[in-house]
Structure 1
């Protein structure tokens, strides 16, 4: 079953107890004026979901590092309601997380998913033209002329210059993208959906950033991705670069769809005047979707829970916070599918998922998200489950449910489509919601129930409308 792994972005919000990463502001001089502080904390993991230790975390000029469990904490000056956090570690692409402080709050969680560098090579001769490719590239992803580089201070690069190139695939995991899919405009901000991105950076021997000289240009090619099999790739889209200081994407040019060697559309090409994280995106119109979050007794939760929307048929996401009545208003793409999930960080809990089909007008979710703020129910589902699925595709699967309700595993199609990854979650009430990648079903929902006492797992999977297919099948499994 090939279900687009829309829920993977939610892995960036996996709930974990916050450990004590090192905090550099222990030695900060005392001020005669009391400065209001805000706590920024979170969890850093790799693409496989494993914690990453020793990550340099920077926010508001202050630094910390992640501990053995991937946790960090920073006490930063509370200035405005937005925080930008950078994550750096050798062997990984630079990552940037952003978040808004909740109204009346002075703390925020900013988690991050780090991606392994795709290419990390030294440039042998700066005087010659350069090109950089990955093993799967049909054409070089980045190309520029000789003697085209300069340090940020205007000096010539010293020693060998190291080039780092990484392709960011938002279809594999929306959380790999820096920022939160918001572009800065003259009138405010604009949500954008991605068709692929790359990150390309240069540093010389002493670690100084190296970029193109004034007047020099480079050609970049961004491998194109689309949200579903039936989606249409635009012939051209706006090109955005990521501003690491503000945490917003900035419009800078146009990227044009080009064919690969076989004639199929495969990458967006553009000419740029500097290196950065570049994203082939398209702004989209939004509508406001209102909803509510309640506990298992049916009582509304209070303020401060985070609600995340993930595009079901577009590669974008958004966030909102609940108010004192447990209500939220979130921006989603007009006339598109979105998946909603609520998160509580204290105590750590995750709600069930609700898929909503937005219309051309503002609307409301027909059901409240349900979340277990006591935590006991989720622990009862923990374990490894083995099962089979049937219908328009057939095969078997093995998944593990963690103590926080998150689900991860793999499956095999017996109809010639090989293996696929599975991710998702179970709510406190036992409602199962899964997504899978690389199979036959295109985009589908996989929902059902799990019984914490008997260990029985069962449900149905159904094609989503944008595949052009109807029907699906059933699945069943048992805790081992």
Structure 2
């Protein structure tokens, strides 16, 4: 009977056929950040999407997502009514599992319903002399091949990188057959269509549209070229993709004012030009002169060109970043946990690889202490039970009070938190110390927790635990 059961269940087969269930746990990464508008104000209620997961920004514009750690790059989309769609891109630091991706949202330039899809359409802004987008009648279809349902809403925004480089989706990198290529922008537009069901609407196969991108002088020391490559933004990969050519045209007064192109689909379109780069090496140090560790982001912003680049520091606080050849670049380092920004260094690149003559300086300790600042309310349990309220200052000093719910009176609390988040507190009734509290605080989540112990002079042994949350 036993052998028959084995045969029926396949127990007599080759052991290689057996496929035990994997016990490997998928590694997670934290993606978090701050979303602001063009005026620098936080935007609440932004839908944030990465790796198929979603979150929303809170009243302070903050968000956090735990996503599968797949590869070393993350693409994050930001969407809210009244604003153009934005996409942020960042690399995960080597050996790290968290990254901050901030975003700046731009108000829509035009948000209008199309009255009659059977007729030719054109879309302009008050400042445009000629239509920015034009296409023929009966030219639209949904992604599933069906006709659009109900009214179709058109959303148009002109992106001016000279006003703010951060308004542009992605990080100014185009995908090529051999890798990536940095690009500088001469202006961009975003044009999207959705029907009454919220489905994306685009041009039918074989249909085209004319777009006109208001021209921006990308290289401040050069004239605008007569034609430039045209790129569209791939929201899935986070890279710009070369697709055609845009030609500089006059606005009717004879002055060059826009880049014109014919396209076969709607997207964020960018009139760009690839540029030659050199590698610039440098370093980041704290205020004491000690080198920082790995994982800080270094950003280069063109001083005389509209382009940008990013790099990460290694374990020795060094970085290598691509900048435009023979051009000015401004370097800044960012720490995201804790949130800190370095001073800025302007470097004149040459035709050869080079190095910055000075390290970027950043106050990580001060930023860490400031990240814990706030009022914390919590409870403690164990040999006694009660509530407490403490305030952590920007210098890491802690003060507050607590009260027993078991009739043991109230007490004062004082102490400090280290830059690493280690909490050390003393509790006293009057001048007499009664207990010590030790634990940790998390500047990102605002969670405070640890253990407490009676002091020997109380004649009591033991203690308990405590936990609190920043308000």
Query: Which TM class, normalised by the smaller chain length?
Result: 0.7 to 0.9
Extract structure 1 runs of 4+ deviating beyond 6 A: 10-31, 376-480
Say which SS state the counterpart of residue 453 (structure 2) adopts: strand
The number of residue pairs the alignment matches comes to 471
Contact 2:173 2:182 in 1 (8 A): yes
Are residues 445 and 36 of structure 1, via their aligned partners in 2, closer, same or farther at CA, if it must alter by over 3 Å? Answer: closer
Report the alpha carbon displacement of residue 472 of structure 1 after superposing the two structures with TM: 67
Say which SS state the counterpart of residue 14 (structure 1) adopts: helix
13-22 vs 205-214, which deviates more? 13-22
Residue by residue over 1:186-217, the C-alpha shift from the partner in whole angstroms, topping out at 9 and shown as x without a partner, is 00100000000000000000000000000000
- How is 1:251-262 mapped onto 2 (pairs within 5 angstroms)? 251-262=242-253
Are residues 227 and 471 of structure 1, via their aligned partners in 2, closer, same or farther at CA, if it must alter by over 3 Å? Answer: farther
Contact 1:24 1:62 in 2 (8 A): no
Instruction: Provide the C-alpha distance between the structure 1 equivalents of 2:246 and 2:353, rounded to a whole number of angstroms.
Output: 32
Contact 1:12 1:111 in 2 (8 A): no
272-281 vs 372-381, which deviates more? 372-381
Contact 1:285 1:334 in 2 (8 A): yes
Are residues 186 and 159 of structure 1, via their aligned partners in 2, closer, same or farther at CA, if it must alter by over 3 Å? Answer: same
**1:475 alignment counterpart:** 466
Are residues 433 and 126 of structure 1, via their aligned partners in 2, closer, same or farther at CA, if it must alter by over 3 Å? Answer: farther
Residue by residue over 1:157-195, the C-alpha shift from the partner in whole angstroms, topping out at 9 and shown as x without a partner, is 010000000000000000000000000000010000000
Residue by residue over 1:362-410, the C-alpha shift from the partner in whole angstroms, topping out at 9 and shown as x without a partner, is 0000111111112279999999999999999999999999999999999
Instruction: Provide the C-alpha distance between the structure 1 equivalents of 2:125 and 2:384, rounded to a whole number of angstroms.
Output: 33
Instruction: Provide the C-alpha distance between the structure 2 equivalents of 1:49 and 1:16, rounded to a whole number of angstroms.
Output: 70
Q: Give the TM-score taking structure 2 as reference length.
A: 0.74
Say which SS state the counterpart of residue 245 (structure 1) adopts: coil
Are residues 404 and 282 of structure 1, via their aligned partners in 2, closer, same or farther at CA, if it must alter by over 3 Å? Answer: farther
417-426 vs 81-90, which deviates more? 417-426
Instruction: Provide the C-alpha distance between the structure 1 equivalents of 2:225 and 2:431, rounded to a whole number of angstroms.
Output: 25
Answering whether residue 104 of structure 2 is matched by residue 113 of structure 1, we say yes
Are residues 376 and 188 of structure 1, via their aligned partners in 2, closer, same or farther at CA, if it must alter by over 3 Å? Answer: closer
Instruction: Provide the C-alpha distance between the structure 1 equivalents of 2:386 and 2:252, rounded to a whole number of angstroms.
Output: 34
Report the alpha carbon displacement of residue 28 of structure 1 after superposing the two structures with TM: 25
Contact 1:15 1:349 in 2 (8 A): no
Are residues 287 and 228 of structure 1, via their aligned partners in 2, closer, same or farther at CA, if it must alter by over 3 Å? Answer: closer
In the alignment, which of 346, 349, 354 is matched to residue 355 of structure 1?
Answer: 346
Are residues 29 and 430 of structure 1, via their aligned partners in 2, closer, same or farther at CA, if it must alter by over 3 Å? Answer: closer
Report the alpha carbon displacement of residue 304 of structure 1 after superposing the two structures with TM: 1.0
Answering whether residue 191 of structure 2 is matched by residue 188 of structure 1, we say no
Say which SS state the counterpart of residue 368 (structure 2) adopts: helix
Residue by residue over 1:118-142, the C-alpha shift from the partner in whole angstroms, topping out at 9 and shown as x without a partner, is 0000000000000000000010000
Identify the structure with bigger relative contact order (alpha carbons < 8 Å, sequence gap 6+): 1
Are residues 149 and 15 of structure 1, via their aligned partners in 2, closer, same or farther at CA, if it must alter by over 3 Å? Answer: farther
**2:457 alignment counterpart:** 466
131-140 vs 446-455, which deviates more? 446-455
426-435 vs 69-78, which deviates more? 426-435
Residue by residue over 1:421-459, the C-alpha shift from the partner in whole angstroms, topping out at 9 and shown as x without a partner, is 999999999999999999999999999999999999999
Instruction: Provide the C-alpha distance between the structure 1 equivalents of 2:21 and 2:58, rounded to a whole number of angstroms.
Output: 27
Structure 1 unaligned runs (5+)? 1-9
Report the alpha carbon displacement of residue 347 of structure 1 after superposing the two structures with TM: 2.1
Instruction: Provide the C-alpha distance between the structure 2 equivalents of 1:477 and 1:157, rounded to a whole number of angstroms.
Output: 52
Structure 2 unaligned runs (5+)? none
Contact 1:19 1:69 in 2 (8 A): no
Report the alpha carbon displacement of residue 15 of structure 1 after superposing the two structures with TM: 63
Contact 1:405 1:426 in 2 (8 A): yes
Instruction: Provide the C-alpha distance between the structure 1 equivalents of 2:42 and 2:147, rounded to a whole number of angstroms.
Output: 38
Are residues 292 and 438 of structure 1, via their aligned partners in 2, closer, same or farther at CA, if it must alter by over 3 Å? Answer: farther
Q: Give the TM-score taking structure 1 as reference length.
A: 0.73
In the alignment, which of 155, 170, 177 is matched to residue 164 of structure 1?
Answer: 155
**1:396 alignment counterpart:** 387
Contact 1:23 1:74 in 2 (8 A): no
| Structure of greater Rg | 2
Residue by residue over 1:14-66, the C-alpha shift from the partner in whole angstroms, topping out at 9 and shown as x without a partner, is 99999999999999999964111111111001000000000000001100000
Report the alpha carbon displacement of residue 106 of structure 1 after superposing the two structures with TM: 0.8
Contact 1:228 1:467 in 2 (8 A): no
442-451 vs 343-352, which deviates more? 442-451
156-165 vs 225-234, which deviates more? 225-234
Say which SS state the counterpart of residue 12 (structure 1) adopts: helix
